[in-house]
Structure 1
Amino acid sequence: MTPVLEIEGLRLALPDTARPVLAGVDLTVGAGETVALVGESGSGKTLTSRAALGLLPRGAMATGRVKVDGADVLTMNRGALRSLRAGTAAMIFQDPRAAINPLRRIGDFLTESLRVNSGHSRASAQARAVELLEAVGLTSRVLRQYPHQLSGGMLQRVMIASALMVEPRLLLADEPTTALDVTTQAEIVALLTELRERFGTGLLFVTHDLGLAAAISDRVYVMYAGLVMETATARELFVRPRHPYAAALLGAIPALEGPRSTPAAIPGQAPGLDVELPGCPFAARCAHAVERCAAEPPPLVDGVACHLVPGSVHG
């Protein structure tokens, strides 16, 4: 499977922090593949996905490689980045109301990229917008409406249509269902799956919801404190997690079947950027940790970064 996104050794440092925000991330997304990026808030999921578009915080120092369709984003000038965002890759942001100008009609928002960046006429751009609105379950009537006239679910569908206007090779979805009810979440997940299959787009799906990750992804990366702790196929990860952090995340999911019990909470909290981490970043919260874990960072070997886990945390 040809990668549309290749991240190799990505390190991202911010001024006045004790450790990097991203400390050597490796990740790939193939054409037509859905990859989920999961972990607690502050683990680096969003920054990893935004790096694929060159959307880095002010003052950030990035090293490593971030290749989209073979081109390294970290070495691009402004013109190349503009072209990348106008055609090769697109992002669905978490809050659609923050990403759409409330003073403009939906039709203007959808067609602007084609008219300005690709030289399409207004008529051809509008025809493409109607086609994609229908693909996401909306009618052409939406083109004449303003954002405040649409529900949150409808606006997220507009955002998906907007991201697909230029037929991107890579689609980045940053927790696109967080503010939606469960029914609408299921509809959006089904829609993204259908559109990925229809357009052959590689999809990086950022979420803290492991249930959603299981439902939509082919492969999963589990992040913690700027590092990948485990990567595996969705089935492998959810059936037999190997890293203690991945197992703890799965153990914290409430059970829908069987006897009622309180989900097992992960003790402590994720480390802040003011805390140096000489060893495994999860060591202070890990029930399996030994002295070596706090002193020596484990490499990612065979998809898992743990000194104590050659095969599984369960055996």
Structure 2
Amino acid sequence: MKTLDIQNYRLRLPRTARPVLDGVDLTVDAQETVALVGESGSGKSLTSRSVLGLLPAGATTEGTIRVDGDDVLTMNPDQLRRLRTGTAAMIFQDPRAAINPLRRVGDFLTESVRLNTGMSESAATARATEMLEAVGLTSAALRTYPGRLSGGMLQRVMIAATLMGDPALILADEPTTALDVTTQAEVVSLLGDLQERFGTGLLFVTHDLGLAAAISDRVYVMYAGRIAETGTAEALFSRPRHPYTAALLHSTPRLDAPRARLAAIDGRPPGLQDELAGCPFAARCPLASDLCGRQAPVLLPVAGEPTHRASCHHSDRTAEVFADA
């Protein structure tokens, strides 16, 4: 059984011309790290929040989202509460926005598990102490207010909070964005160690391609609410088969690149009021043909690589166009 199994998921908001998320298929196995990458506004965070049933007001959905075998989209409020305090948990991007600055860290860690599982105060405190030690902090943090902790320490507290309910799945929504480079590396290493220790699956949402390549087993590239390409990290970053993936890699700054203007992807992503008859990337794609504008491509296996799939009518030509990237 997969820890996370999203199948043909569509999410539509009021007064939009197209679905915000359109036919998303995504899976995470136990102890597997899966990265979800793409530009801002592509639907990455909304996908991860949907896993916890955190949907925008007025949203309508189709498809299935199963966490440890249970369909999130059919859960009632009590079931969702148990999901969020046990089976799955999220590490948010900015820990200072996620933790109440007026309450001590110990209250933040123990309140939810006590209210939703009936755990006693002493047992919850013992669990919180264990989880703080697991992330490299001491029990002294329980009595500390968030404002006295650094950004890196607060993110460790957030990670400890996700572990309180012994989750099968952790959703990390760009958890290193607000941190300096050294602290980013520490947090990423910590997540890997904890994942191996506790046996959790990890969905890591990021716009940092280098980070995704370094930490993930598999990668999904998202564009305009659709999966453009997916495969192992090695295959996807060394042999991209979707022009969008290749263009993202081409525009990534490199220390060994010649001094010149940074490459960029021309144009802009389609807005939610733009109806899409064909490929959503067609207007920005150097390979686009009339077919691309008329017919949406299907996510299909790349020849010779059954686990590598791309949603492009001309995936066989991507390598030649970006040969100098």
Q: What is the TM-score with the length of structure 2 in the denominator?
A: 0.94
Quote how far apart the aligned CAs of 1:312 are: 4.8
Q: State yes or no: 1:241 paired with 2:240.
A: yes
**Is residue 240–residue 312 contact of structure 1 (8 Å, CA) maintained in 2?**
no
Q: State yes or no: 1:86 paired with 2:85.
A: yes
Code of the aligned partner of 1:262 = R
**Structure 1 partner of 2:158:** 159
Code of the aligned partner of 1:238 = F
Distance, in Å, in 2 between the alignment partners of 1:310 and 1:28 is: 25
List, as ranges, runs of 4+ consecutive aligned residues in structure 1 with deviation greater than 4 Å. none
Deviations 1:218-254 (A, max 9, x none): 0000000000000010111111111000000011111
Quote how far apart the aligned CAs of 1:263 are: 2.9
**Structure 2 partner of 1:119:** 118
Code of the aligned partner of 1:280 = C
Residues 181 and 291 of structure 1, relative CA distance in 2, 3 Å threshold: same
Report the 3-state secondary structure (helix = DSSP H, G, I; strand = E; otherwise coil) of the residue aligned with 2:42: coil
Distance, in Å, in 2 between the alignment partners of 1:211 and 1:188 is: 15
Report the 3-state secondary structure (helix = DSSP H, G, I; strand = E; otherwise coil) of the residue aligned with 1:3: coil
Q: CA RMSD in A?
A: 1.2
Deviations 1:146-180 (A, max 9, x none): 11111111111100000011110010000111111
Alignment partner for residue 314 of structure 1, among 305, 320, 325?
Answer: 320
Distance, in Å, in 1 between the alignment partners of 2:319 and 2:11 is: 30
Quote how far apart the aligned CAs of 1:79 are: 1.1
Distance, in Å, in 2 between the alignment partners of 1:210 and 1:260 is: 21
Distance, in Å, in 2 between the alignment partners of 1:39 and 1:127 is: 40
Q: State yes or no: 1:71 paired with 2:70.
A: yes
**Structure 1 partner of 2:310:** 304
Code of the aligned partner of 1:305 = S
Unaligned 5+ segments in structure 1 are none
**Is residue 90–residue 168 contact of structure 1 (8 Å, CA) maintained in 2?**
yes
Quote how far apart the aligned CAs of 1:123 are: 1.6
**Structure 1 partner of 2:136:** 137
Code of the aligned partner of 1:127 = A
Identity over aligned pairs, percent: 68
Quote how far apart the aligned CAs of 1:134 are: 1.4
Quote how far apart the aligned CAs of 1:112 are: 1.4
Matches within 5 A, 1:280-295: 280-295=279-294
Distance, in Å, in 1 between the alignment partners of 2:135 and 2:211 is: 19
Worse-matched range after superposition: 130-139 or 292-301: 130-139
Distance, in Å, in 2 between the alignment partners of 1:204 and 1:195 is: 14
Q: What is the TM-score with the length of structure 1 in the denominator?
A: 0.97
Quote how far apart the aligned CAs of 1:126 are: 1.2
Report the 3-state secondary structure (helix = DSSP H, G, I; strand = E; otherwise coil) of the residue aligned with 2:310: coil
**Is residue 246–residue 318 contact of structure 2 (8 Å, CA) maintained in 1?**
no
Distance, in Å, in 2 between the alignment partners of 1:261 and 1:137 is: 42
Quote how far apart the aligned CAs of 1:122 are: 1.6
Distance, in Å, in 2 between the alignment partners of 1:110 and 1:83 is: 16
Deviations 1:96-139 (A, max 9, x none): 11111111100011111222222222222111111111111111
Residues 80 and 249 of structure 1, relative CA distance in 2, 3 Å threshold: same
How many residues are paired up? 314
Report the 3-state secondary structure (helix = DSSP H, G, I; strand = E; otherwise coil) of the residue aligned with 2:212: helix
Quote how far apart the aligned CAs of 1:293 are: 0.6
Report the 3-state secondary structure (helix = DSSP H, G, I; strand = E; otherwise coil) of the residue aligned with 1:265: coil
**Structure 2 partner of 1:254:** 253
Unaligned 5+ segments in structure 2 are 302-308
**Is residue 96–residue 159 contact of structure 1 (8 Å, CA) maintained in 2?**
yes
**Is residue 81–residue 116 contact of structure 2 (8 Å, CA) maintained in 1?**
no
Code of the aligned partner of 2:79 = A
Report the 3-state secondary structure (helix = DSSP H, G, I; strand = E; otherwise coil) of the residue aligned with 1:314: helix
Distance, in Å, in 1 between the alignment partners of 2:320 and 2:198 is: 40
Matches within 5 A, 1:95-106: 95-106=94-105
**Is residue 114–residue 120 contact of structure 1 (8 Å, CA) maintained in 2?**
yes
Quote how far apart the aligned CAs of 1:262 are: 3.2
**Is residue 254–residue 262 contact of structure 1 (8 Å, CA) maintained in 2?**
no
